[in-house]
Amino acid sequence: MFQMLLATLVTLGLLITFHEFGHFWVARKCGVKVLRFSIGFGKPLIKWKDKQGTEYAVAMIPLGGYVKMLDEREGDVAPEELSQAFNRKPVLQRIAVVAAGPLANFILAVVLYSLVFGLGSTSVKPVIGEIASGSIAEQAGLQPQQIITKVDGKEVQNWTQVQLSLVRRIGESGEIKVSAETGEGWSTDHSLVIDRWQEGVRDPDPFGSLGIHPLRLPIPAVIERVEDGSAASDAGLKTDDSILEIDGQPIEDWRDLVERVQASPEKELELLVERQGQRLSISLTPRSKENGQGQLIGFMGVMPKPVSWPDEYLVTLEYGFFGSILKGAEKTWDMSVLTLESIWKMIGGLISVENISGPITIAKVAGESVSYGLIPFLSFLAYVSVSLGVLNLLPIPVLDGGHLVYYLIELARGKPLSQSVQELGLRLGVALIGSLMIFAVFNDISRWFIGS
């Protein structure tokens, strides 16, 4: 819990600070007087002022921030300060100030992705383990042990890249072009025919729905860690225990163990365990929880000992300084386009709105990414930064994109929209964003706590 809270504070603090600093920096460059720079909402925990009179604050509710600028629409302005008022600045300068926040998020994403590519990472090649009988992949001619090299003409080097390429096609009809090669270097092209593929599905499964199952190494049923207070802990299981049998039936590997336990919620099981060369009989009753389909499954609260992939299944991605920057910019662009495409498909009903996530999901994923290491956490930060930049550019009043629409209309008309029109748009925008936030939190609660 502490790790999750700390990761969430770092994530929100960093992204919000960069976003608001973009507005702040450009406003200062344009000669606008900044009254307050706040990270968070509500009562300030700490605050101080600089020589130019700007108050800096860190507030109690870390779900956003704001830059308050001198503006005649928000209060009286002394005659000698009118030239520093935001509303008195030329429309192009106001556009620059508003656009600077999302732009700062994109710049941060480029930096973070560049760090990821610069540090280098080792991942598993996209080797096919199994092809489901009668599946789309089987009909297209894909076979086990093939290595996927391209999806829709774009090179892929690991399963993450394959997944991102497939996700872009969710809700569509047509053909997914996949190139694959064998261990001998022979390359073949395959067309996977899709029709409204995974349309409206909550938590889409790109691989399983196509019938593609990644190659998995057999993981021995040996315990690496036992969670405190879990069913396994209560039963007396310990680190390095090897589980040989359940109810007299041999256990082949960790996957077999998981399937047996999940099929037995609240049902007492007899385990044959090997511990330090001795065999013990242990009774264990898995606890129950709901999975994503509303079904009760059992869990015992243990983690397996990891296994190492042979070198021939691994790929190391490394780039030089300039190469990392180029890859970082390319990745930022790709994720921005993917986010926009997903929003558009959601509006069109091709992607389920149940996939909208809120602060609870961000907190949980932040904590999980930290536990996986520095590179996954940096990648997570970059992705959320891209999402924040894209969402703030949506043409919704109250967001930066809505203000940009007002100023672009003013630029075209030669005069601003009436104050009554802008206030109406603001009220509608607040209502829309408020509704989306409530819906996102409901999805979070449903996904993580209710399980349906």
Render pLDDT for 263-316 as a digit per residue (tens, 0 to 9): 999 999 999 999 999 999 999 999 988 765 567 889 899 999 888 888 889 998
Instruction: Give yes or no: residues 233 and 185 share one domain.
Output: no
Q: Of the candidates 317, 336, 367, which is a domain's last residue? A: 317
Residues of the chain with pLDDT under 70: 1, 291-294, 358, 447-452
Q: For 32, which DSSP code? A: P
Instruction: Give yes or no: residues 325 and 267 share one domain.
Output: no
Length of the chain: 452
Query: In the prediction, which pLDDT does 262 show?
Result: 92
Q: Answer whether 98's CB lies under 8 Å from 400's CB.
A: yes
Instruction: Give yes or no: residues 247 and 300 share one domain.
Output: yes
Query: In the prediction, which pLDDT does 449 show?
Result: 56
Any domain includes 278: yes
Q: In the chain, what is the straight-line distance between the N-terminal and C-terminal CA atoms, in Å?
A: 23
| CB count in 10 Å sphere of residue 426 | 15
Instruction: Give yes or no: residues 313 and 179 share one domain.
Output: yes
Instruction: Give yes or no: residues 333 and 299 share one domain.
Output: no
| CB count in 10 Å sphere of residue 111 | 18
| CB count in 10 Å sphere of residue 342 | 19
Structure tokens at 215: 């190659």
Residues 6 or more apart from 344 whose CB is under 8 A from it?
none
Q: Of the candidates 317, 340, 356, which is a domain's last residue? A: 317
Instruction: Give yes or no: residues 302 and 190 share one domain.
Output: no
Any domain includes 66: no
Show which residues are catalytic: 20
Any domain includes 49: no
Query: In the prediction, which pLDDT does 442 show?
Result: 78
Instruction: Give yes or no: residues 208 and 112 share one domain.
Output: no
Any domain includes 88: no
Query: In the prediction, which pLDDT does 293 show?
Result: 58
Long-range contact set of residues 52-58: C-beta below 8 Å, sequence gap at least 24: none
Query: In the prediction, which pLDDT does 201 show?
Result: 82
Helix (H) or strand (E) holding 37: strand 34-49
> How remote is the C-alpha of 135 from its chain's centroid?
29
Q: Which of 92, 202, 190 is nearest to 143 (CA)?
A: 190
Any domain includes 91: no
Query: In the prediction, which pLDDT does 447 show?
Result: 63
Sign of CA pseudo-dihedral 323, 329, 332, 337: negative
Instruction: Give yes or no: residues 265 and 300 share one domain.
Output: yes
Its domain, for residue 375, covers 102-118+319-452
Query: In the prediction, which pLDDT does 174 show?
Result: 95
Tell me how far apart the alpha carbons of residues 381 and 385 are, in angstroms, rounded to a whole number.
Answer: 6
Q: Which residues pair with 299 in a beta bridge?
A: 287
Instruction: Give yes or no: residues 352 and 243 share one domain.
Output: no
Query: In the prediction, which pLDDT does 452 show?
Result: 41
Q: Of the candidates 287, 317, 347, which is a domain's last residue? A: 317
Q: Answer whether 197's CB lies under 8 Å from 173's CB.
A: yes
Query: In the prediction, which pLDDT does 283 show?
Result: 94
Instruction: Give yes or no: residues 235 and 203 share one domain.
Output: no
Question: In percent, how much of the chain has pLDDT > 90?
Answer: 60
Instruction: Give yes or no: residues 110 and 125 share one domain.
Output: no
How many separate domains does the chain show?
A: 3
CATH number of the domain enclosing 227: 2.30.42.10
Q: For 294, which DSSP code? A: S
Any domain includes 147: yes
Instruction: Give yes or no: residues 269 and 327 share one domain.
Output: no
Q: Answer whether 187's CB lies under 8 Å from 180's CB.
A: yes
Backbone φ and ψ for 139, nearest 5 degrees, come out as: -65, -30
Any domain includes 182: yes
Query: In the prediction, which pLDDT does 148 show?
Result: 96
Any domain includes 237: yes
